Chains A and B, each alone.
Chain A
Amino acid sequence: MDLEEAEEFKERCTQCEAVSWGLTDEGKYYCTSCHNVTERSKEVINSDIIPNAQIKALNRGLKRKNNSEKGWDWYVCEGFQHILYQQAEALKNLGVGPELKNDVLHNFWKRYLQKSKQAYCKNPVYTTGRKPTVLEDNLSHSDWASEPELPSDVNSPFLESGMESQSDVHTRKSLRISKALQSETSVCSGSLDGVEYSQRKEKGLVKMTVPQTLAFCYLSLLWQREAITLSDLLRFVEEDHIPYINAFQHFPEQMKLYGRDRGIFGTESWPNYDDIYKKTIEVATFLDLPRFPDITEDCYLHPNILCMKYLMEVNLPDEMHSLTCHVVKMTGMGEADFLTFDPIAKVAKTVKYDVQAVAVIVVVLKLLFLLDDNLEWSLSNLAEKHNEKNKKDKPWFNFRKWYQIMKKAFDEKKQNWEEARAKYLWKSEKPLYYSYVDKPVAYKKREMVVNLQKQFSTLVDSTPTAGKKSPSSFQFNWTEEDTERTCFHGHSLQGVLKEKGQSLLTKNSLYWLSTQKFCRCYCTHVTTYEESNYSLSYQFILNLFSFLLRIKASLLHEEVSLVEKELFKKKYSVTKKKSKSKKRRR
């Protein structure tokens, strides 16, 4: 392989004096730091191996040209691999550990290729009747003949050392078919197997799609127990911090896309939480992954930590955290067994960590303030009076004031979000077209659009549009200094709790359930959420949180109901009456 071949060369670069060599297509050495290409080719070299020399292989698999017009021979899975590679890079830039890219994602991907019989197996799927013979023919005069088959290392994919994922697929010598033959069958796609790929339908096969790449990313994040939730991931995608829409435009110049590739790689929608969540489970089951590392109390994904994070995010008092912890404990949602994803368990399901944490907060809010459009306001009156009298003390949390501030901030955020979405530019610089006939049309159209955009951008005020937001897991920012936007983190819950002996009780002794009865039929949902049936403050809180997570309010409502179901398990099975009262100890 390139790696080993390049290791043999240890001389210093004549330009930058570095010892960091890669191999070019022609077998010549080039310096990876200054891109100086030497005159010397591999055959001439016979030097000792230098340890610690940073050697990088230029991936040459993609570079076999047939003619410059048609570009390189490439396969659909290579395209996806490229996207995954970019996404992994982006995640790395977001601060995720490098192991994610090199070990986890890489191995998941290899495993996928094997399971879907695209590589690392004896009989890859790309065999149409005449192919085997053609293959042998081809191999005899191809540069690829020397590469080793790798079926053995697939058995232990997680132990394999990290390597640039890009170069993987090229080890599949079985895939190398002469373009001459393929060009007849793949006239309708830039990739070699675009047509076949889109026609491929096998039972139990999970086909790669662009949203699926995010499922892979999320699986690896989950495996690494990184501090990025699914909703964060999708938000970063939406904010363009992770390549997703038009990810194909960063493919190498020579990887041409058209025809069927358009359907495979073109995306005109942002990922959807529920969809990616389901795909994650689907992929994990397909890959037959073992139980994931345990989610313990010190993991970011543990509800206690996530609750803390979301409490801060929505400007609620820190004191609420002990209550959320209590709910988590009572419902058993903090247990590692409950939280840890196990694809080979009987029913593979993972927890929607972020949604669940938020649901816990909603439940706690309901416990404290009832949220019946009545009690929360009278409690606010009490708090207001108290705060006026005792200006020096730690102020009591005033729900009304919080609502007013949050409502304003939320509306502003949402408005900006909607405007930004309306202004989103979907089309890539590299237009996708159906066939070579369409190509000039597509490019001309692109040029027109660019020209028109240029013209209109001169009409827009010269004030630069606030550049790309830097990625953050927080969307709101509350600080003590800002007088306009009061920060409630330090406010106390004294107004809503009362002491009784050793323990603290909530003043409010009532509770209403978000869902009385769960649907047992075979539809996909568990509950229905009809906005108008619920109190306004409950609606507001659901809307606020579902906006933060970019999910539908009904999904959060469902999760709230599920938390309640766990919390009031006994009552659920015994009585079915409304407005149950529940006193809780602290």
Chain B
Amino acid sequence: MSDFSEELKGPVTDDEQVETSVLSGAGMHFPWLQTYIETVAIGGKRKKDFAQTTSACLSFIQEALLKHQWQQAAEYMHSYFQTLEDSDSYKRQAAPEIIWKLGSEILFYHPKSNVETFNTFADRMKNIGIMNYLKISLQHALYLLHHGMLEDAKRKLSEAETWRHGEKTSSREILINLIQAYKGLLQYYTWSKKKRELSKLDKDDYAYSAVAQDVFNHSWKTSVNISALIKIPGVWDPFVKSYVEMLEFYGDRDGAQEVLTNYAYDEKFPSNPNAHIYLYNFLKRQKAPRSKLISVLKILYQIVPSHKLMLEFHTLLRKSEKEEHHKLGLEVLFGVLDFAGCTKNITAWKYLAKYVKKTLMGNHLVWVQEEWKSRKNWWPSFHFSYFWAKSDWKEDTALACEKAFVAGLLLGKESSWRSKNRPQTIMADSFFLAWMAICMYSLGTGDRLEIPLACLEMLRTSKLDGGWAPVPLE
């Protein structure tokens, strides 16, 4: 916008004289503006109608796809194929990919379409833009997989794998790796099916050795196919997972650990929480020492502080001897509950209630203060609002109790932390009271039961509306 207004202002000074004379009336006229508008509208040069209609056609197709009107989409597609013959070489080269994407989408959903139509289309498209041969082959295979045609998919992948045309570029190499890896994945699938068969068979069964042999053969091929891909930076979760499973099966623990460590720690790979989860699960299976597990989860904590493994992480930290781990344990719990998805996680609340109490008893008030400091502004309304108090109480009393206990500890402490001079909001007091009430009630520790009961009564009957009159503490 700013550029445009700059340009608007610019020439005015030059043409000022002309401007003042023609500015009045509806037939206002700025010669410089006119040319500007014209070049904007037509991009400097008049677009050919061919370009115009084909781009209109494209948007009609997109609209039809969006509305799931496969029939209409196919109709427009019929005309859109002519972009393959576009005289604009740039557009002509881009056309096969666009057509493939649109066409495969249409054929995937179109009621009159079937596997054969899709096959013909894919084979045709493969040969139009050879640049897309591998990509289309891969997607073709995935389509076949989707239709449960495993053997055909495997055959397509093999075909693509052996396809050679022109120079080998780096992007093509990755594609070939990917194709091989998918082939490997299919082999893994067969392998794991065989493995299941094997586990059902008796060792003395005459078929056992044959099946076992089969299993071994497959694993060898698969590992070759997959291992090349997972060395390239990228996210290869299913491949890594199945590869590790096979390595583990044949007892190659070191190999598996190497793969997983590499996948999780190699800096060239994109940050991927699953990599750490796989590694952690693997190490757990291997009964690795606690310190090692903690170090893996520490990284996961940094990437996904809300992950469900964090509770496990907390347990590990709690059991640790180191004091810093204890502090981290508190941080982790608070971290988990920062996320909206975890607000109803009763385990987390239970842990927090216990741990805050333990920390306070362990004379680490500072730790709690530290965590609470950044949260005191929003946790009350996020977790301890009147609404939550009511609904939690109704839906899950146990959860409400845990929350109430935590609230009591935090807010209660909070109010007592406050200096007397600072104005206290009525709100905070009411929260505190309400939660204290539940807390004391649920714990049954209230010395004077009538107060919390009165509060509770107010909560339940919703009398505590907008005003939230403070309930006097006796």
Contacts and interface: CB of A to CB of B under 8 A. Distances in A.
The answer to whether A and B interact is: yes
B207 interface: no
A422 B84 contact: no
Given A455-B117, A459-B71, A268 B31 contact: no
Nearest to A521: B31
B50 interface: yes
A519 B27 CA distance: 9
A483 interface: no
Interface stretch (B74-82, B139-147, B368-376): B74-82
A421 B121 contact: no
Interface in B34-59: 34, 46, 48-51, 53-54, 56-57
B28 A427 contact: no
A268 B50 contact: yes
A424 B27 contact: no
A431 B87 CA distance: 11
Contacts of A515: 26-27
Contacts of B25: 516-517, 578
Contacts of B24: 516-517
Contacts of A445: 84-85, 128
B431 to A, nearest CB: 55
Interface residues of A, number: 46
Given A455-B121, A516-B27, A446 B71 contact: no
Contacts of B113: 459
A424 B79 contact: yes
Nearest to A432: B87
A422 B76 contact: yes
Nearest to B78: A456
Interface string A502-519: 000000000001111111
- Most chain B CB inside 10 Å of its own CB: which residue of A268, A269, A442, A446: A268
A426 B81 CA distance: 11
Contacts of B78: 423, 453, 456-457, 460
A437 interface: no
A61 B98 CA distance: 46
A517 to B, nearest CB: 5
A246 to B, nearest CB: 11
Given A268-B48, A268-B50, A449-B85, A422 B121 contact: no
B22 A519 contact: yes
A533 B106 contact: no
Nearest to A534: B26
With most chain A CB atoms within 10 A of its CB, the pick from B50, B57, B71, B128 is B50
Contacts of B127: 448
A430 to B, nearest CB: 12
Interface string A425-456: 11100010000000000100110110111011
A282 B24 CA distance: 36
Given A421-B56, A422-B56, A448-B84, A270 B49 contact: yes
A57 B82 CA distance: 39
Contact of B110 (A422, A448, A459, A519): A459
Contacts of B107: 459
A542 to B, nearest CB: 14
Please list the 9 inter-chain residue pairs (A to B) with the smallest Cβ-Cβ separation, ordered nearest first.
Answer: A516-B25, A268-B50, A515-B27, A459-B74, A269-B49, A422-B57, A268-B48, A422-B56, A423-B79
6 contacts: A424-B53, A446-B85, A459-B71, A513-B26, A515-B27, A516-B27
Interface of B: 18, 22, 24-29, 31, 34, 46, 48-51, 53-54, 56-57, 60, 70-71, 74-79, 81-82, 84-85, 87, 99, 103, 106-107, 110, 112-113, 117, 120-121, 124, 127-128
